[in-house]
Amino acid sequence: MRNLRGHRFPHACSPEEAREVAEAVSEAAIEAGLFPVDPSSRNESDLLLGSRLVSPDFRSDAPGRIVLADAARRVVVMVNEEDHLRVQSLTSGLSSRAALDWVTRALEDLGTRLAWAAHPAFGHLAASPYNCGEGTRVSALFHLIGLAQTGRLTSVLRACADYGIVARGQFGERSRAVGAFLQLSHTGADRTGFEAACRYLVAQEREARSIALPTLPKKLEESRAFLRNAHLLSLADALRSLGWLRWAACEGLIAASPRDTDLWTTFLQSGGDPKDRAAGRFRATFLRDRIG
């Protein structure tokens, strides 16, 4: 998170000022190798959200709202969301240090042309006072279906909370945990506790899956039967079904790989009106065509 010195935060600035911020960031982004991504179409917006490159709260039609990314989409910048800049990097596996390296380099490049709003006592200033300081959040997305199936998920997450780790839904803040997909999130400079909590969670999930594995074939068939007969699927129902399909893919019980099922989540039309029947029909058809 970064905000520009001399400008009001997005929730308080005028449309003209928001556009000024966007223009200044766009000019600086060229030097950083970041270029505009057009999220104006429904399909592109859903793809960006499904890929977790933008947040559910990012409305591209608001004044000064733009998305910037490098060629590989390894680094993505949301402009004028809650703060002037949300710079993020997504990497595979448990690799938060690599993601932080990418973000740090992008911020250094942007900072050659932009001045950040900061205070000697409070650190980087943010639209939300709770986010002032280092301005960094590290998150990891987990699929904890084994812990959910064995009834141990709540107690394990409570243990993670002792490290200052916050559990959130698949799409970040204010999203619900569905299909046993959860983000663990941490703010502050101490990365050691976060990494220790992630390793603990992985070990507990592996143990839970070994215990719950005999229940998987039945759950898989139930999920397949549900998808074959569904003509409309809510996003929540689609994610619940995908949770079982992904575990089955990890165990080699279906032809798809876990990475295939991860890719499917990006096409489930995660944004827009949850009552959109066309989106519900698309989800049902999309998953039915892939379950075999």
Tell me if 141 sits within 8 A of 181, measured CB to CB.
Answer: yes
CA torsion 44-50-55-57 (nearest 10°) is 70
SS (H, E, C) the chain: CECECCCCCCCCCCHHHHHHHHHHHHHHHHHCCCEEECCCCHHHHHHHHHCCCCCCCCCCCCCCCEEEECCCCCEEEEECCCCCEEEEECCCCCCHHHHHHHHHHHHHHHHCCCCECEECCCEECCCCHHHCECCCEEEEEEECHHHHHCCCHHHHHHHHHCCCCEEEECCECCCCCCCCEEEEEEECCCHHHHHHHHHHHHHHHHHHHHHHHHHHHHHHHHHHHHHHHCCCCCHHHHHHHHHHHHHHHHCCCCCCCHHHHHHHHHHCCCCCCCCCHHHHHHHHHHHHCCCC
State both tokens at 155: 């107690």
Position 276 pLDDT exceeds 80: yes
More confident residue, 215 or 193: 215
Domain 15-131 is found in CATH 3.30.590.10: yes
Question: Alpha-carbon distance 242 to 253, whole Å?
Answer: 14
- Residue ranges covered by each domain of the chain: 15-131, 137-213, 215-288
Which pLDDT band, with edges at 50, 70 and 90, does 49 fall under?
A: confident
More confident residue, 261 or 194: 261
Percent of the chain with pLDDT over 90: 56
State both tokens at 42: 């429904």
Sequence-distant (6+) residues with CB within 8 A of 254 are: 220, 245, 248, 291, 292
Average pLDDT of the residues in 185-209: 84
pLDDT at 89: 92
pLDDT digits over 72-129, tens only?
A: 888 999 999 999 999 999 888 888 889 999 999 999 999 999 999 999 999 999 999 9
* Arithmetic mean of pLDDT over the chain: 88
pLDDT at 211: 97
Position 38 pLDDT exceeds 90: no
Which pLDDT band, with edges at 50, 70 and 90, does 43 fall under?
A: low
Which residues on adjacent β-strands are paired with residue 137? 187
Average pLDDT of the residues in 225-249: 93
